[in-house]
Chain A
Amino acid sequence: MGKTLFDKVWDAHVVDAIENGPQVLYIDKHLIHEVTSPQAFNELKERDIPVFRPDQIVATADHNTPTINQHLPIKDLLSKNQLEQLSDNCKKNNITLYELGHKYNGIVHVMAPELGFTQPGMTIVCGDSHTSTHGAFGTIAFGIGTSQVAQVFASQCLLLSKPKSLRVTINGKLRAGVLPKDVILYIISKLGTNSGTGYFCEYAGDVFKNMSMEGRMTICNMSIEMGARGGMIAPDQTTFDYVEGREYAPKGEAFDKKVAYWKTLPTDVDATFDKEYFFDAEDIEPMITYGTNPGMGIKITENIPNINDASFEKSLEYMDFKKGESLINKPINFVFIGSCTNSRIEDFRVAADYIKGKQKAQNVTAWLVPGSKQVESQIIDEGLKDIFVNAGFELRQPGCSACLAMNDDKIPQGEYCVSTSNRNFEGRQGQGSRTILASPLVAAAVAIEGKIIDITKQLN
């Protein structure tokens, strides 16, 4: 029987297996950041265990960094201490770190692919659930806890049971204005937030084949939001073209050899999956969420469903929305375009294209936070910054920012924020804040109008 893309990559990395137990999986690349690594470094130190393969680790500072005045000393002492510990730990253990201000600094899931660190056929882990992003390259990539960060430090391996396989196929052509973010919000709204638990998901079909690498990253990024450990898309010419020439990518003959191998990775035609789902591209429209988990999404033109369920009602109460109501014309005071889901250059191009020549609504505070220093430079070089600034938007410096509000970028209590990030949990963007997830196009339109609008009217 044929093998899936996931099987091929997984099987190539199995070092050993425990009888009736997990397998020892080899990890090619380990990404770390300031929040989930300090306790792992401490554990190693306490147990007197050296870092086994420091050259397979790359570090960045992102979760806790300020997005203004990055050249100044950090005011928050706890944040400062966490960043200093990261620098110190990396230095002591010979780990490459792209610290705050470095030209390669950025959100871990934006900067690593940009540097060519992420390549097809690899296993990549990071103490961060959105590590699933890297699956866009045909990579097995998933988030781990801090104990596992320590395990990878110690052995470059993890003990894991092989997950089950799931495939989501979408064929056809997407409508105008339907972005990768809408596709993934649509999938999660249909399947629910725990449909993928215990599974690794492959995305297949025309829609993903025709998607850019940036779009594929947006898709795989949110696999965790349906419970899946990770998502994958078969590597193809789009993937190879993206990787070629990047800093850490293999060069010349070595690259050609890799490509020949990467071409063998796509799922065999006779391979089978434990679960399969099919959707039609034409059914997908611009999406928006109304509740406190990413599965609570509707087409922007739809009304909030009528469901009698305590959790559902609790969620609507938090959001101050009513069953059956439409979100169109809801006033919105905050818009955030950023996070590892939608902070790549394409996202800012889409936003700029819509914003050009328009003015932000008076009531709106609109933050644009690039995913990395490189994206920031692209925004400036392509002249997008001028468009944003002229329209009244605030272009900030790279980082996770209001995606999790660990730094000062918080949405005030009770306020709605239309956000391109990935989680609308209670208080995710600041205590008492209310998050509405959407694509960069919808977010840009909301910023201009100061309220949620039916974007489909402008598209047709």
Chain B
Amino acid sequence: MRFLLKREMTMEKFTTLSSTAIPLDIENVDTDQIIPARFLKATDREGFGNNVFRDWRFDKNGNENPDFILNNKTYSGNILVAGNNFGCGSSREHAAWALTDYGFKVIVSSFFADIFKGNALNNGLLPVQVPADFLKVLLSEIKNKPDTQLIVNLELQTISIKGTSFKASFDIDAYKKTCMINGYDDIDYLLSKKQTIEAFEAKKTY
């Protein structure tokens, strides 16, 4: 792709990731759960990780809820494997910032809400959409064997369990894939199109 030549690096590059994963077996996780509204008063992008899943992680007095999976030290890793329809609701990009700030680099689900997916990709957080039955097996494998290593290969668009033949491929827009692999973002591209945009403005008919 021609436009990529003169762009600077603005995002962290992503090619492959091998990590253990945290199984969040809950459906319809909305962005209000990922980061509740009362934490949206900040005016920069940092520090949201402290409050990711705040009301599931902590009780009203700020004590850890031992039943919530993120507080279960058996599970760790940069991959969050979540139930169907992840990221629905509010457009708050703070949700993506909170997840990356906490340390996640990949979210796996059988379905992602549109805006969340875009926000994630714009922040170097890879949404990996897998078939529902694959997700089911993945969740139970991780739950049973917390040291299960997942391998996410963006180049090949595959996710697999290390040391097994258990594998699925996932879709990603070709342009977004190039951006993720190279650490580019959309602003660079749009700025390179300034003249075309101005020409469009000059002759728009509606």
List A residues at the B interface (Cβ < 8 Å).
12-13, 15-16, 18-22, 24, 26, 35-36, 38-39, 42-43, 47, 49, 63-64, 76, 78-79, 81-82, 85, 121, 127-129, 143-148, 150-151, 154-159, 161, 163, 193-194, 197-198, 224, 227, 229, 261, 292-293, 310-311, 314, 404-406, 413, 423, 425-428, 431-432
Q: How distant is B199 from chain A, measured CB to nearest CB, in Å?
A: 8
Answer whether residue B6 sits at the interface, using C-beta atoms and an 8 A cutoff. Answer: no
| A24-B190, A146-B93, A431-B36 as given contacts; A193 in contact with B88, CB under 8 Å | yes
Q: How many A-B residue pairs have CB under 8 A?
A: 189
Q: CB < 8 Å: which of B186, B200, B205 contacts A159?
A: B186
Contacts of B37 in A (CB 8 A): 63, 404-406, 428
Answer whether residue B132 sits at the interface, using C-beta atoms and an 8 A cutoff. Answer: no
Contacts of B73 in A (CB 8 A): none
Contact, CB under 8 Å: B93 / A194: no
Please name 24 pairs of A and B residues whose Cβ atoms are closer than 8 Å in the assembled complex, sorted by A.
A12-B204, A13-B206, A15-B197, A24-B196, A26-B200, A39-B43, A47-B10, A82-B41, A129-B89, A129-B115, A145-B92, A145-B96, A146-B119, A147-B119, A147-B122, A154-B187, A155-B191, A157-B193, A193-B28, A197-B113, A229-B114, A292-B28, A426-B55, A427-B36
Contact, CB under 8 Å: B91 / A143: yes
Q: How distant is A109 from chain B, measured CB to nearest CB, in Å?
A: 13
Q: CB < 8 Å: which of A22, A311, A427 contacts B27?
A: A311
**Chain B interface: which size bin?**
35 or more
Cα of A207 to Cα of B40 in the assembled complex, Å: 38
Cα of A3 to Cα of B42 in the assembled complex, Å: 44
Q: How distant is A229 from chain B, measured CB to nearest CB, in Å?
A: 5
Contact, CB under 8 Å: A423 / B89: yes
Contacts of A431 in B (CB 8 A): 36, 55, 60
Answer whether residue B77 sits at the interface, using C-beta atoms and an 8 A cutoff. Answer: no
Contacts of B123 in A (CB 8 A): 147
Name B86-109 residues within 8 Å CB distance of A: 88-94, 96
Contacts of A229 in B (CB 8 A): 114-115
Answer whether residue B14 sits at the interface, using C-beta atoms and an 8 A cutoff. Answer: no
Q: How distant is B6 from chain A, measured CB to nearest CB, in Å?
A: 15
Contacts of B1 in A (CB 8 A): 18-19, 21
